[in-house]
């Protein structure tokens, strides 16, 4: 059941409990463009909620990985607007619609573990620097509530270009960018793996936006 028009990085859960991440803010009438990320499993994994373990089936963010999942885990259709094979979840199969801003407000009211307390601290620091809490959300495993405090990261969503601009201006005051040498190494590895033109690396590096907050 959809609570509103799905936005980028909302999370959807289907009838079988499989977890999908929404891509983009515009979707066809009968299905949502979304890739599958987690599926329920009987095997013990780091991701756990309500007595159920989850396996991450999207191991890396890679087109080949998405194509593999299209044959094994989810439906994909040719989208004439995108002119591409597209991972989807049909509206009739949606059982839950998880919204990042709603989940963040729940966490801020009563953080339940160390990772949620870090998230709360981060948001309060951002608020003190002029970023509105109403324009923030949290996605990823925290949104689902199956995160592992020892290994999961914090995936923030910022809504609105003015808030996004403000966020990028102040985030360096509360969190540290990942080491430049590490970022370059990762970008070089990913370019090599995908067969991309290495001359494009310099255009990619400035838009890497991952930060470390309190370790």
**Model confidence pLDDT, tens digit, residues 19-32:** 999 999 999 999 99
Name residue, tokens 């991450």.
56
**Model confidence pLDDT, tens digit, residues 156-204:** 999 999 999 999 889 888 877 777 787 778 777 777 777 777 777 776 6
**Model confidence pLDDT, tens digit, residues 77-136:** 999 988 989 999 999 999 999 999 999 999 999 999 999 999 999 999 999 999 999 999
- Among 131, 129, 118, residue whose Cα is nearest residue 158: 131
**Model confidence pLDDT, tens digit, residues 121-142:** 999 999 999 999 999 999 999 9
Q: Which residues pair with 90 in a beta bridge?
A: 31
Cβ 171 vs Cβ 164: under 8 Å = no
The beta-strand segments (E) located in 91-166 are 94-98, 136-139, 155-158
Strand-pair category, 11-14 with 94-98: antiparallel
Q: Look at residue 26 and give its three-state secondary structure.
A: coil
Task: Please tell me the predicted confidence (pLDDT) of residue 209.
Answer: 61
> Which token pair is 197?
């033109």
| Residues 152-183: b if buried by 16+ CB within 10 A, e if exposed | bebbbbbbeeebeebbeeebeebbeeeeeeee
pTM of the model: 0.89
């Amino acid at each position: 059941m959809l609570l509103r028009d799905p936005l980028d990085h909302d999370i959807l859960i289907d009838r079988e409990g499989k977890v999908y991440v929404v891509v983009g803010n515009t979707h066809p009438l009968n299905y949502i463009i979304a890739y599958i990320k987690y599926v329920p499993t009987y095997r013990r994994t780091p991701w756990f909620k309500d007595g159920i373990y989850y396996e991450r089936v999207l191991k890396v963010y890679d087109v080949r990985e998405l194509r593999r999942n299209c044959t094994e885990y989810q439906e994909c259709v040719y989208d004439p607007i995108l002119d591409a094979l597209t991972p989807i979840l049909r509206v009739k199969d949606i059982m839950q619609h998880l919204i990042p801003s709603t989940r963040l407000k729940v966490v801020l009211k009563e953080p339940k573990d160390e990772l949620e307390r870090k998230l709360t601290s981060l948001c309060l620091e951002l608020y003190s620097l002029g970023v509105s809490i109403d324009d923030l959300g949290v996605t990823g495993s925290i949104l689902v509530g199956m995160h592992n405090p020892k290994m999961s990261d914090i995936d923030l969503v910022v809504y609105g270009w003015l808030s996004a601009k403000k966020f990028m201006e102040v985030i360096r005051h509360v969190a540290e960018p990942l080491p430049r040498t590490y970022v370059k190494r990762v970008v070089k590895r990913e370019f090599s793996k995908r067969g991309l033109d290495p001359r494009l690396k310099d255009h990619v590096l400035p838009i890497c936006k991952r930060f470390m907050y309190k370790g």
